[in-house]
Amino acid sequence: MKKILLILLIVGLIGVISYLVWNQNINKREEENNISDIEENLKEEEDIETRTIFPIAVGYEVKILDLKSNTLSSIPGNPEAEVVFGESVDGKWLIISEGKREVAPGPSPDFFLSGWNLYRVNKETGEKLPIVLDKNVIVAVRSPKEDLIAYVTHTNGLWLVNLDGENKRQVVPDNIVIAGNILWMKRTGEPFIFWSSDGKKISFSTFPKDYKGGDMWETQGVGLYLLEENEFKILGEDIYNVFNVWGWYDNENILVNIAQPFIYDPEKGKVLRSEGSGLHLVNIDGEIKYLIDLTYIGDNFGSSISDIFINKDKKIFVIAPVGKSTTEDPLNQDLAIMIIKSKEEFEEPKTVATGFQGGCFKKFASDGRIIYENRDGRLVIINLDGSNPIVLPPEVKPPIYFAP
C-alpha cells in the first residue's frame, strides 16, 4: 500500500512539474507574441508618421504641411514655387517649379506656350539649385528608386534628368505625351505619367498619331518607355479615343479606363472593331484584359471617376461623386469609394463624405487617404472609410498639387 501511495505521489509530482513547465512555455510564447505585436504596431505607427509630412506650395511659397500637428512651416529663405513636384530619395531636397507658365490662347487651359523651370531646394538650408532651365516643364515625377526625374514639356515630349541637372535627354518625341494642367481651378489633376514601382518603366496616355492640337482628351493609346532598353512604344495604338492611364497595377500591367470602345473608319462610315468599356489591364506586351465596367454601378458612380489608387496588395480604390448638384440644391453630391479586388470580387460604392458642390477638389493622397474640398471651401483629409477627418489650415486650398 505504501509503495502504491509512493508511486502515486511521484506521478503527481511529475504531473505538477510538467504543467509548470508547459505553463511557463505558454507564458513565454504569449510574451513573445505580445512583443511582436508591439513591435508591429510601432512599425505601423512609424510608417504612418512618415506619411504625415507633405511638402506643398501655398500662396506661391514652398511650405511643409505636418498633419500630426496640422500646421504649416516654412523653409529657410522662403523659396517661391507654384508646385512642389516631390522630394529626393533621401528627403533632403524638394523638387520645385520656378517662374510662371504661359497658357496658350483658346478655350482649353490645358495647353501652354511655355512651362516652368525646375529647381531643387534644400529643406534644411534653403539652398536652391537649378535642374532644368528651359522654361518648358509642365509635370515632373521622380523615380521611386533613384534621383531620376521624368518630366513632360509644354510641347508634349518626355524627358529624363538627374536631380543635379546632369544627363538631360529626350526619350519620347513631342506631340505624343498627354499631361494636363495640374493647377487648373478645382480640377487639379494627376501627373498623367506613372513610374512602375521597380523604376524601370514609365507609362502615360498618348495623343493620336495624326494629332495636330486641339482636344486634350483625344487620347489614342498607352505610351510605354522602357529605361533599360531605352525603347518607346505605344500599346493599342490602333484604338482611337479610348485610353486613359490611371497607373501601374503591378510591374507588368497598366491600369487604364476605356471610355469610348470602338475604332471608327470615317471613310467607310462604320465601326471596324469594338472593345468593352470600363477598367482594363494592359500588359507591357500589349495584351488587354477586361476588369470591370463602372458605368452602371451605383448612383451614376462610374460616369465621372475622380481618382484611382492602387495599393501594394493590388486592391484598386476608386473615388467618384454620386448624386447630382443643381442650382436649387448645389450641395447634393456625395463622395463614394469603391474597392476592386479582382474581376469577380469587388465592393459596392460606399459614401465617405457628403454635401459636395459639383466639380470640387477630390483626390487620393500619396499614402492612399482621401483629400477633398468641403462645403465651406476647406480641404479635408480622411481615411478610406471616411474616419479621422482633418480640416487642413485655411491657407491650404485648391488649386494645389500633392505630389504622388
pLDDT over 50 (residue 174): yes
Amino acid at 89: V
User: Quick check: is 286 in a domain?
Assistant: yes
Compute the mean pLDDT over every residue in the chain, rounded to the nearest whole number: 81
Same domain? 191 vs 323 = no
- Domain membership of residue 25 (yes or no) is no
Same-domain pairing of 249 and 305: no
Q: Are residues 257 and 351 in the same domain?
A: no
32 domain residue, yes or no:
no
Give yes or no: residues 186 and 70 share one domain: yes
Chain segment 181-197, per-residue pLDDT in tens: 788 654 445 667 999 99
Residues 179 and 102 both lie in one domain: yes
Last residue of a domain, one of 261, 293, 325: 293
Which of 251, 268, 293 is the endpoint of a domain?
293
* Same structural domain, 324 and 310: yes
pLDDT at 242: 55
Look up cell 513610374; give the residue. 195
Residue 200 lies in a domain: no
Can you give the pLDDT at residue 304?
A: 77
Q: Does position 28 have pLDDT exceeding 90, yes or no? A: no
Domain boundary among 236, 264, 293: 293
- Is 57 a domain residue? yes
Residue 159: phi and psi, rounded to 5, are -125, 160
How many structural domains is the chain composed of? Answer: 3
State the CATH number of the domain containing residue 172. 2.120.10.30
Entry pTM: 0.82
- Report residue 275 as a C-alpha cell: 472593345
Q: Degrees (nearest 5) of the Cα angle 364, 239, 304?
A: 30
Q: Are residues 78 and 189 in the same domain?
A: yes
Find residue 75's DSSP bridge partners: none
Are 98 and 150 contained in the same domain? yes
Check residue 32 and give its pLDDT: 45
Identify the band that residue 223 occupies on the pLDDT scale cut at 50, 70 and 90.
very high
Residues 305 and 404 reside in one and the same domain? yes
Is residue 33, in this structure, part of any structural domain at all? no
Rounded CA gap, 376 and 399, in Å? 15
Q: What is the pLDDT of residues 38-85, one digit of tens each?
A: 334 333 333 333 468 999 999 899 999 999 999 999 999 999 999 999
- Same domain for 339 and 260: no
CA distance linking residue 178 with residue 246, whole number of Å? 12
**Residue in 293, 193, 275 with CA at minimum distance from that of residue 236:** 275
pLDDT, residue 80, reads: 96
Same domain, 129 and 219: no
Q: What is the pLDDT of residues 3-20, one digit of tens each?
A: 555 555 554 555 545 555
Residue 404: give the domain boundaries: 297-404
Q: Is the same domain home to 319 and 403?
A: yes
Look at residue 207 and tell me if it is in a domain.
Answer: no
> Tell me: the pLDDT tens digits for 345-396?
888 889 999 887 777 888 898 888 999 998 888 999 999 999 999 999 999 9
- Neighbour order of strands in the sheet with 53-58: 53-58, 61-66, 71-74
Using the 8-state DSSP alphabet, how is residue 348 labeled?
Answer: P
Highest mean pLDDT, choosing among 104-108, 124-128, 237-241: 124-128
User: Quick one: how far is CA 81 from the chain centroid?
Assistant: 21
